[in-house]
Each structure stands twice: as C-alpha cells, then as structure tokens.
C-alpha cells in the first residue's frame, strides 16, 4: 500500500515506539499535523519551539528514551536551535524534525526558508535533508539509531513539504545499517587489565564520574565497583546521581563550585579514574595543574574525548557499562585506609555549608525542598547560582534525577525540561529550581504545564539580580554591577495566577517549610517566589584559571 510522506512519518514513529512528541505547527508541516490528528502519539503543544526542544530533552534525560520534537521551517527551526545545542552538548538523544519549503524552492530565499542543515551542522550529531520520499522511512530509522547509540546526541531531519505529500510504499527497516557508523562498545581487555593493575597499586585513588555513566546505565556497576574497592567518588554536574550523593564514599561535585574535599582529593590523588567525563574546564580549573601527582585512566565511548584536554595514561574506549562490568571481574581492592582518613579529615575541616542565621538564604530553600521531597524529586535547574545551589544541596541518589544544562549552560532550560520530565515520569515530583532571571526566558511554558495539568513545581530563588554574573562582578570587577540588577521584574505570584497556576510568595525563613508542603499538595503547577538574600554567593569557588584546590569562600 502506498502512503504519503506525512503518514510514513507517523507510522515510522509508531514503529519506533514513540509515545510523545513536543512541538509547534506551521505552514510547511501542515501535512504532518494533519496525519498526527488521527494518531495516538501524544502531542504536547508548547508555547515556543525552544520550549519544545528543551521539553524533548528533559523527557529524554528523565526516561532514557529518545526525545522527539517538531517545528515548522524558518523561524520554527531557528527557535529550536538553542534547545538542540543544549541537548547535543550534554549528549542527550533527541530527534528533531523540521519542516522545509518545497524541494524545488530550496535555495530560493522562499518564504520561511532557512538552511536547517547548515544551521544545525555544528550543534548536532548528524542531520538529514530528505529529498526523496522513498528514503524517508530509512532516514527516520537511522536518525533514531544515531541519536540513541554510541555517544548519544541530536539528529535533525529536515522534511520539505512536497515530500510529506508524495506517496510511496512503506517499509520500516528492521535494523539501521550505516557503514560509516559503528560505535565501539566493549573496551580493550588489555587496557582494562593494565588499569586494574594500576588501581591495585594505588594509594590515593579517586573516581571522577561524568554523565556518561548515567547515559550508559552503568550506575549499578559503578556502585558494585566502589563497594568492592572503596575508592571515593566525585561527580561532575552531569554525573550527579550516577552514584548516591548520600553514600559515605561520595565526595559530591568537583570543580569550580565543587566541594573543597572533592577538589583536595583530586589534587592530592595518585590515580584519577575518569568514567564518562570529559575534563571540561569548569571541572579541571587550570589544566596544567590538574591532579598533578596522578596517573589518569580514562574510560569514554568517544575517542575524541580522550587526551583532548589532559594527557591520559590508560585510555579505554567503549561503553562505560560494558567496561565497568569487565573491570569488576579483575579489580582488586587497593590499600587505602590512610587515604580514607585523610579524606575524612578534609570532610570534617571543610564541610559544604552556608551561613545558618535567621535570613532567608537560597541554600536553605534547596535544603528544605530536599527534606520535604525526601530526596526523591526529579530536579531540573535553570542556570546560574540556582543551578549550583541545587547541585550542592539537593543530594541526588539515583541517575536521571538531576537534570541541568551543563555543557551549554542555557538559561530558560529548567521549566520546559521539567515539563518534559513530568510527562515522562508522571508519578514523580518534579521541581525546577530557578533564578528570577532565567525563569523569564521560557516563562510562557507555564501555559503548557497548566493546559496539560502537569504538577511541576517551580522554586524561584529570587535574588533580584542575575546572581551568578553579579557574583563575578562582585569578586572580579570591583562590585561594578553593570546591568545585572533586575530592578523591574513581574509580580511572579500574579503572573502564575494569570497563567492559571498557583503562585506563592515566601519572604521569611520560617515560612519556607509550610509553603513547600502546601505546594506539594497542590495537583497543578505551582510557582514559588522565594525572596532570598540578594548578595548571597556560591562557595566554594575556584576563580577562573586557578588550580581547583585554590578555592575562595571555603567555610571552615
């Protein structure tokens, strides 16, 4: 039987097991929207295409499935870009479909034409322009395969409107077969044995865990590995939850706003075992002085990540889950009792804390959200101080619990990502920890939450400024607060109400618990406006270009 391109699109998604997609309509995607009208695929209409891309991303991070979004050509496609770049930087599997003008008009500066392939090349893992309806099913199959395997990422499929209308026979391929794409899975056993030997002889080893562990589902194996070896674990922002933050061997996050004990442990260690992490500059600080006494084992699926930033002694390319499984077979416990003592003394001397007085401090808000959700909520964040406080004080214990834009640092990510996460995990409590700046970047998505009856909770840590930038101005630009004070912000409570959500304002420390409890009881979306201390800073902090043990603001 012959089907139109639009029908093939819908049937292919069904074969692919897609239950939900996020998007926004427009002229050149009308045939697809018409086909969606009769389909069971749940379509979430966001209020901005950027919201659709972030929601697809949040859905993917929370569930481990591929997120799907759809937008029209021209401005629809360009509005997606920030969301796609965000997802791709953090290796999130997203397939984005964009409408395109008729094949015969491509290159003519037609109405709402942009070069989607050109625009998305540097921010995607791969992209396709479908020029023949006969290839459509195969392209979709390949797109999902590429997005979800190896180091996952974004795949863009650009669909000219005439392709959506033309008919052809529909066969959905069983398997994707792409000759130029064969991601490695198993690690080299010789390398693994070398690594195990190094571990057994180490005196001060540290595991440095990134998002790759979560993506590959290696958390269980990692835990077994740690229980067997008793090697302490530090995580990147993307790795939070890969290993329980409340475990006694957890050192929390490392890097620019990491814990003092994680950073000291790295700098003092004789062996760093990096798994699914990429030695980002926010983690390493001054690169030539990163872990100066340590040998480095680097496990990563992406050969490009190896020896890109630091020289690695034992690289192991492959899937973290496979490799950890193989390592477990051979690994022996090193003699590190002295090292544990040293770490315990750092933990005691430099705890992660803040000033506990009667003022309403943002860290306290995060701590109470943690307590009242029993540490079990899915936490999304915006970007800035709110993001760092969420990372520091919401101690995630399970993978896919902490959802944040790490690589790109996209303000406006948290709310739409929370919507995506809530759709993927309807039974969970989802909290977006936000700043008063960031939340205004995609505030329109409150409507999406209201209209889909999604009980997402937004906690605005309202400091009246673009806090993280202000912090840098305070510390490095003589308190010259150039354009970082948000003197004029909307009344967030009224705004929430105008959107049909519930708004709560909290101005005193003693009202925090009550407000959060109340919010958790409400079945719909709630926007909480916490008027926190305006000049609170995120500490510890490693100033840019310093080694990570040169921290400022460590409270002893």
Contacts of 556 (CB under 8 A, 6+ apart): 349, 350
Tell me which residue of 56, 243, 43 sits closest to 152, measured CA to CA: 56
Q: Are 41 and 20 in contact (CB under 8 A)?
A: yes
385 binds, among another protein, ligand TPP, none (CB under 5 to 8 A by kind): ligand TPP
Q: Are 22 and 69 in contact (CB under 8 A)?
A: yes
Closest to another protein by CB, 125 vs 282, is: 125
Q: What distance in Å separates the CA atoms of residue 222 and residue 217, rounded to the nearest whole number?
A: 10
Q: What is the dihedral of CA 308, 314, 315, 316, to 10 degrees?
A: -160
Cβ at position 145, least distance to another protein in Å? 10
Strands 526-531 vs 67-71: parallel, antiparallel or unpaired: unpaired
DSSP character string of 383-414: SSHHHHHHHHHS---STTSEE---SS--TT-H
411 binds, among another protein, ligand TPP, none (CB under 5 to 8 A by kind): ligand TPP
Closest to ligand TPP by CB, 99 vs 435, is: 435
426 binds, among another protein, ligand TPP, none (CB under 5 to 8 A by kind): none
SS3 357: coil
- Which residues sit opposite 204 in a β-bridge? none
The total number of residues written for the chain in this structure: 556
Cβ at position 397, least distance to another protein in Å? 33
What one-character DSSP code corresponds to residue 510? G
Is residue 527 near ligand TPP by the rule CB under 6 A? no
First to last CA, the chain: 73
Cβ at position 417, least distance to ligand TPP in Å? 14
Is residue 360 near ligand TPP by the rule CB under 6 A? no
Strands 271-275 vs 295-300: parallel, antiparallel or unpaired: parallel
Cβ at position 176, least distance to ligand TPP in Å? 34
302 binds, among ligand TPP, another protein, none (CB under 5 to 8 A by kind): another protein
Closest to ligand TPP by CB, 297 vs 446, is: 446
Region of 342 (left: φ > 0; alpha: ψ -120 to 50; beta: rest) is: alpha
Size of the site for ligand TPP (CB under 6 A): 19
Backbone angles phi and psi of 305, in degrees to 5: -75, -20
Tell me which residue of 149, 140, 155 sits closest to 16, measured CA to CA: 140
Q: Are 422 and 397 in contact (CB under 8 A)?
A: no
- 181: preceding bond cis by omega (within 30 degrees): no
Closest to ligand TPP by CB, 100 vs 462, is: 462
User: What radius of gyration do the chain's Cα atoms show?
Assistant: 24
- Which residues sit opposite 506 in a β-bridge? 530
Q: Which of positions 487-506 make contact with ligand TPP (CB under 6 A)?
A: none
410 binds, among another protein, ligand TPP, none (CB under 5 to 8 A by kind): ligand TPP
Closest to ligand TPP by CB, 5 vs 435, is: 435
Q: Which of positions 381-420 make contact with ligand TPP (CB under 6 A)?
A: 382-386, 409-411
Backbone angles phi and psi of 157, in degrees to 5: -120, 115
Tell me which residue of 217, 240, 205, 215 sits closest to 305, measured CA to CA: 215
Backbone angles phi and psi of 208, in degrees to 5: -115, 105
Cβ at position 408, least distance to ligand TPP in Å? 8
Q: Which of positions 426-455 make contact with ligand TPP (CB under 6 A)?
A: 435-438
Residues making contact with another protein (CB under 8 A): 117-118, 121-122, 125-127, 129, 146, 178-181, 302-304, 307-308
122 binds, among another protein, ligand TPP, none (CB under 5 to 8 A by kind): another protein
Closest to ligand TPP by CB, 325 vs 469, is: 469
179 binds, among another protein, ligand TPP, none (CB under 5 to 8 A by kind): another protein
Closest to another protein by CB, 292 vs 303, is: 303
Closest to another protein by CB, 118 vs 190, is: 118
The only residue of 44, 235, 466, 541 in contact with ligand TPP, by rule CB under 6 A: 466
The only residue of 222, 237, 306, 468 in contact with ligand TPP, by rule CB under 6 A: 468
180 binds, among another protein, ligand TPP, none (CB under 5 to 8 A by kind): another protein
Closest to ligand TPP by CB, 216 vs 442, is: 442
Closest to ligand TPP by CB, 91 vs 410, is: 410
Q: Are 363 and 388 in contact (CB under 8 A)?
A: no
In this chain, which stretch among 126-134, 197-205, 376-384, 489-497 interacts with ligand TPP, using CB under 6 A? 376-384
Closest to another protein by CB, 215 vs 446, is: 215
Q: Which residues bind ligand TPP (CB under 6 A)?
A: 382-386, 409-411, 435-438, 461, 463, 465-469
């Amino acid at each position: 039987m012959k089907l139109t391109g639009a029908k093939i699109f819908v049937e292919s998604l069904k074969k692919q097991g897609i239950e939900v997609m996020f998007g926004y309509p427009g002229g050149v995607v009308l045939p697809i929207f018409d086909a969606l009208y009769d389909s069971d695929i749940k379509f979430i209409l966001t209020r901005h295409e950027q919201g659709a891309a972030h929601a697809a991303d949040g859905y993917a991070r929370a569930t481990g499935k591929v997120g799907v979004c759809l937008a029209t050509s021209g401005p629809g496609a360009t509005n997606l870009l920030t969301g796609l770049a965000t997802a791709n930087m953090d290796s999130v599997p997203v397939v984005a479909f964009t409408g395109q003008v008729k094949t015969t008009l491509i290159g003519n500066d037609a109405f709402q034409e942009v070069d989607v392939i050109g625009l998305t090349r540097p921010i995607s893992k791969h992209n396709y322009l479908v020029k023949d309806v006969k290839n459509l099913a195969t392209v979709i199959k390949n797109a999902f395969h590429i997005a979800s395997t190896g180091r996952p990422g974004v795949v863009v499929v650009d669909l000219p409107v005439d392709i959506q209308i033309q008919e052809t026979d529909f066969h959905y391929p069983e398997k994707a077969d792409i000759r130029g794409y064969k991601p490695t899975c198993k690690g080299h056993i010789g390398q693994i044995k070398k690594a195990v030997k190094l571990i057994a002889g180490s005196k001060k080893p540290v595991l440095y865990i990134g998002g790759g562990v979560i993506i590959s589902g290696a958390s269980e194996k990692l835990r077994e590995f740690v229980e067997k070896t008793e090697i302490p674990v530090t995580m990147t922002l993307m790795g939070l939850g890969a290993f329980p933050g409340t475990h006694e061997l957890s050192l929390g996050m490392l890097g620019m706003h990491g814990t003092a004990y994680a950073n000291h442990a790295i700098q003092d260690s004789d062996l760093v075992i990096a798994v699914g992490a990429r030695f980002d500059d926010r983690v390493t600080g001054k690169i030539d002085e990163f872990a100066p006494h340590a040998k480095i084992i680097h496990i990563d699926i992406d050969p490009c990540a190896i020896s890109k930033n630091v020289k690695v002694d034992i690289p192991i390319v492959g899937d973290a889950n496979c490799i950890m499984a193989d390592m477990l077979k051979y690994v022996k416990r090193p003699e590190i009792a002295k090292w544990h003592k040293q770490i315990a003394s750092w933990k005691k001397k430099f705890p992660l804390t803040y000033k506990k007085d009667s003022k309403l401090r943002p860290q306290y808000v995060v701590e109470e959200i943690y307590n009242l959700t029993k540490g079990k909520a899915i936490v999304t964040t915006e970007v800035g101080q709110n993001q760092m406080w969420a990372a520091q004080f919401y101690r995630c214990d399970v993978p896919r619990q902490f959802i944040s834009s790490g690589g790109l640092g996209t303000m406006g990510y948290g709310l739409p990502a929370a919507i995506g996460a809530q759709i993927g995990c309807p039974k969970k409590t989802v909290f977006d920890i936000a700043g008063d700046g960031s939340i205004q970047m995609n505030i329109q998505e409150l409507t999406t939450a209201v209209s889909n009856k999604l009980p997402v909770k937004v906690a605005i840590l309202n400091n009246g400024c673009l806090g993280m930038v202000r912090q840098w101005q305070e510390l490095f630009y003589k308190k010259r607060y150039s354009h970082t004070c948000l003197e004029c912000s909307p009344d967030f409570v009224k705004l929430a109400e105008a959107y049909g959500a519930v708004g709560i304002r909290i101005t005193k420390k003693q009202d925090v618990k009550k407000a959060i409890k109340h919010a958790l009881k409400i079945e719909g979306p709630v926007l909480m406006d916490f008027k926190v201390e305006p000049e609170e800073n995120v500490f510890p902090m490693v100033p840019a270009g310093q080694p990570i043990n040169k921290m400022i603001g460590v409270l002893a």
